[in-house]
Amino acid sequence: MIIPKTREQIELIRESAQIVSKTLGMLATEIKPGVTTLHLDQLAETFIRDHGAVPGFLGLYDFPNSLCMSPNAQVVHGIPNDKPLEEGEIISIDCGALKNGYYGDHAYTFPVGKVSEEVEKLLTITKESLYIGMREFKAGNRVGDVGYAIQKYTEDHGYGVVRELVGHGLGAKMHESPEMPNYGRRGRGKKFVEGMVVAIEPMINLGTKRIKQLSDGWTILTADNKPSAHFEHDVALIDGKPELLSTFSYIYEALGIESKEEDEFREKTL
């Protein structure tokens, strides 16, 4: 059942989402060759707690850390470890925060130093697909409209769309109804309702859409060991339109990147 949120509840989700946004912004300049994902995880946990929140993933379904850290061929749910990052790798960081009873949950895939043109393009197209999907999150549309838009755009570039893992409703629980697949058919699935909040999160593979899981019971990686990218935003349906609750602007500020990509989703914001 979809649980629509009041404006007050949406502002609480926004507060948690913004803590995640700031955490990712803080991490942006720490990501470099030689740094371990475990070190980044510890930085994030301290940062989240210093902002009056609790790491959203720590202990959730018994996950052992604050961040999901998924390098290269890992799609999602990678566990931080003491292996240093290397030049030319990518690292997908998924972060959650819980404050005042509401979750924020979003993700960004960072290049470590300079990456190949092929991988750079995967990151660009995956992030663009997130915004293309978000545009379909509007009154009158259904879950399948978002999934279709993401699938069409990324498959047209020859990429594989992960089927087994999906976006989701967000609120007092990290994972609420509806499931938000990154594939689908136009006009199909649950209808969007005013006040609902979702996490939209394309997980896009350079090669095959097929995945496998490591014996740690968590880590999902591509079946062909080619790289995978993951970008995620938290979005509310307000006045029939998608309103962004999370932001990549702290990342861009830290890295000196100019971007207007979020402007159309931020009429009422901050």
Stretch binding Mg ion (CB under 5 A), from 20-28, 34-42, 89-97, 209-217 = 89-97
* b (16+ CB within 10 A) / e for 110-139: bbbeebeeebeebbebbbbbbbbbbebbee
What DSSP designation does 108 have? E
- Exactly one of 89, 94, 136, 176 binds Mg ion (CB under 5 A); that residue is 94
Q: Which residue do the tokens 């006040």 mark?
A: 195
Number of residues that bind Mg ion (CB under 5 A): 5
The candidate with the shortest Cα–Cα distance to 225, out of 239, 210, 215, is 210
* Residue 190 CB, nearest approach to Mg ion (Å): 17
The piece of 40-48, 93-101, 132-140, 258-266 that touches Mg ion (CB under 5 A) is 93-101
Q: Which is nearer to Mg ion, 156 or 162 (CB)?
A: 162
Q: Which amino acid is at 175?
A: H
Minimum distance from residue 17 beta carbon to Mg ion (Å) = 11
Q: Which of residues 144-183 bind Mg ion (CB under 5 A)?
A: none
Q: Of the two residues 107 and 244, which places its CB atom closer to Mg ion in the complex?
A: 107
Q: Taking CB under 5 A as the criterion, which residues in 194-223 touch Mg ion?
A: 199
DSSP 78: P
Cis ω for the linkage preceding 64 (within 30 of 0)? no
Cα 225 to Cα 74: distance, rounded to the nearest angstrom: 8
Nearer to Mg ion among residue 89 and residue 94 (C-beta): 94
Nearer residue to Mg ion within complex by CB, 130 or 206 = 130
Strand 102-111 with 67-71, pairing: unpaired
d(CA 153, CA 157): 7
Site string for Mg ion, 218-257 (x = CB under 5 A): --------------x-------------------------
Residue 220 Cβ vs Mg ion, minimum distance, rounded to whole Å = 13
Shortest Å distance, C-beta 234 to Mg ion: 8
Q: Is 175 exposed, middle or buried (0-12, 13-18, 19+ CB in 10 A)?
A: middle
Q: Pick from 40, 53, 75, 107: which binds Mg ion (CB under 5 A)?
A: 107
Contact residue for Mg ion among 41, 89, 105, 136 (CB under 5 A)? 105
On whether the CB atoms of residues 106 and 234 are closer than 8 A, the answer is: yes
**Segment near Mg ion (CB under 5 A); pick from 13-21, 97-105, 202-210, 233-241:** 97-105
Nearer to Mg ion, 41 or 105 (CB): 105
Q: How far is 66 from 53, CA to CA, in rounded Å?
A: 12
Footprint of Mg ion (CB under 5 A): 94, 105, 107, 199, 232
